[in-house]
Structure 1
Amino acid sequence: MPRIDFTSHRLYVDAPLTPKARVALDPPRANYLRNVLRLNDGAEILVFNGSDGEWRARLDAANRKSPALIAHEQTRAQHPPFDLHYLFAPLKHARLDYMVQKAVEMGAGQLRPVLTRRTQAERINLERMRANAIEAAEQCGILSIAEIFPPARLGALLEGWSPERLLIFCDEDAPVQDPIDALRAVPGAGPRPLAVLIGPEGGFDEDERQLLLAMPQALRLSLGPRILRADTAAVAALALIQASLGDWRSFR
């Protein structure tokens, strides 16, 4: 596995990447590279587009009216998108920004806002979510961009649930037990598609809880003796799941 270069600036680009590919820079990105990062003509950065791996590219800024990046060396091949789905009741603004960034850092490949009866913020800026997902990928050496889905009602989402994907839903009313033991005790919980669901800060109502408990693919999980805020619960749950059932296990 190639070592990730954290000393170079990384930039997501929405363009194909091949040897000598020229990636035109729009004014905001040109301004970011030249005036924020203060890079000069010929400076090198790392670029990725979510499908062609990571490339080293040179800044071609001699023509200020049409600055561009020129790809010249692939540093890492593309890896498959992460197959961990993160489902969550939406939060407001800054806390949603934080949660999206942390979910991406923890390996979520899909972000799915879920509307429940106690959801407090139903209007979501999907473009802002995507921008936060891209920023997290840029900063953390991730090569794929998490897929962002529009909000869906919990019942509608569960109706079309894949029987192969384990749905781990975190519930403050679940009996408190060791979450690692609970996750490792799942029958047939070897490598399989995973999803984690964090509900609203008011909790699931009883009808929603019973709907989830009736699913044969669902696992009810306690996150300990304290009630966590939703953005904190996201980090705690994703860390537990990655360590017990997810891609952290590949390092054992």
Structure 2
Amino acid sequence: MPATPAWPPRSAPRLFLPGPLASGASVSVAGNQAHYLAKVMRVSEGDAVVLCDDATGEWAARVLSAGKREVVLDPVERLRPREEVPDFWLCPALLKKDRFDLVLEKATELGVRAIRPVVTRRCVADKLNLDRACAHVVEAAEQCARTALPHVDAPVSLDALLRDWPAGRALFFADELGGKPAATAFAAHAGPAAIVTGPEGGFDDAERDAIRAHPAAIPVSLGPRILRGETAAIAATALWMGAAGDW
């Protein structure tokens, strides 16, 4: 007797939708998401789609109808609740668009809770299209099967970041001039944390002094080599997640 195929199949398309989702409460998808389902994935009535809403978790849904401009879906079964993620913020200096897109994508895949972009004196870019950044994060979350979206903030100056830093959250500082070995420092810390990483040209002396003078700051080293801005942000996040047990 042949085995019953898994449902939903692993190949089912994934989408984040505004929530909350609930069993039997059909939802309509329009615009680019409808085009993706109907034209790219070619779903039809009865096919499976996996839905997430960043609130209730992950759902298996059936396609009720698939038109050119609208796809109607019926959430049938909740597959898993919204995941718990470590309380870790990535505070990367803004980079050129393609490089910062990579930071957004990989930080999402690695499981950060929030991304708080920072503008420093040597940043090549000083603006961020927040809608585009959020859409990029959603796409990354869909591809890596996250059920929780990281919050993406509008960029702030380094001065503002330091001035408004919340009490009780460690501020690790990826300082190219050196500090404690990052893996050792991360493993020794328990509780809410964040790391600030620099732009293409690094931090200037005044910025470095300001960060080091902050009471929450813990300067760390990411190794003997000078890393590009996007590499530093991604490597630091991976190290922290490993130390936190998220891997």
TM over 0.5: yes
User: Quick one: which of 73, 76, 90 aligns to 1:86?
Assistant: 90
CA shift, 1:38, in A, is 1.4
**Distance in 1 between residues matched to 2:9 and 2:96, nearest whole Å:** 34
Aligned partner of 1:179 in structure 2 is 182
Flag the 1:169–1:6 CA change in 2: closer, same or farther, 3 A: farther
Identity, in percent, stands at 37
Any idea what the Cα deviations from partners look like across 1:187-244, whole Å, max 9, x if unmatched? xx22x00101111121111111111111222111111111111111112111111122
**Distance in 1 between residues matched to 2:35 and 2:121, nearest whole Å:** 44
Flag the 1:78–1:101 CA change in 2: closer, same or farther, 3 A: same
**Distance in 2 between residues matched to 1:195 and 1:85, nearest whole Å:** 4
Is the CA contact (8 Å cut-off) linking 1:15 and 1:23 kept in structure 2?
no
Match of 2:91, as an amino acid? L
CA shift, 1:247, in A, is 4.1
SS at match of 2:172: strand
SS at match of 1:61: strand
**Distance in 1 between residues matched to 2:212 and 2:24, nearest whole Å:** 54
1:45 aligns with 2:49: yes
SS at match of 1:235: helix
Flag the 1:64–1:34 CA change in 2: closer, same or farther, 3 A: closer
Is the CA contact (8 Å cut-off) linking 1:6 and 1:141 kept in structure 2?
no
CA shift, 1:94, in A, is 1.5
Aligned partner of 1:166 in structure 2 is 170
- Structural mapping, 1:1-252, within 5 Å: 6-61=10-65, 66-80=70-84, 82-174=86-178, 178-184=181-187, 186=188, 189-190=189-190, 192-244=191-243, 246-248=244-246
Is the CA contact (8 Å cut-off) linking 1:10 and 1:47 kept in structure 2?
yes
Is the CA contact (8 Å cut-off) linking 2:31 and 2:69 kept in structure 1?
no
CA shift, 1:5, in A, is 7.7
**Distance in 1 between residues matched to 2:205 and 2:10, nearest whole Å:** 47
CA shift, 1:170, in A, is 0.5
Match of 2:240, as an amino acid? I
CA shift, 1:182, in A, is 3.6
**Distance in 1 between residues matched to 2:114 and 2:68, nearest whole Å:** 38
Over aligned residues, Cα RMSD in angstroms? Answer: 2.0
Any idea what the Cα deviations from partners look like across 1:53-72, whole Å, max 9, x if unmatched? 11000112256564311111
Any idea what the Cα deviations from partners look like across 1:31-63, whole Å, max 9, x if unmatched? 111110111111001100100111000112256
Q: Which runs of 5+ in 1 are unaligned?
A: none
CA shift, 1:79, in A, is 2.9
Is the CA contact (8 Å cut-off) linking 2:12 and 2:49 kept in structure 1?
yes
**Distance in 1 between residues matched to 2:49 and 2:59, nearest whole Å:** 8
**Distance in 2 between residues matched to 1:206 and 1:5, nearest whole Å:** 54
**Distance in 2 between residues matched to 1:167 and 1:218, nearest whole Å:** 5
**Distance in 1 between residues matched to 2:51 and 2:16, nearest whole Å:** 6
Is the CA contact (8 Å cut-off) linking 1:14 and 1:49 kept in structure 2?
yes
SS at match of 2:117: strand
Match of 2:73, as an amino acid? L
SS at match of 2:33: helix
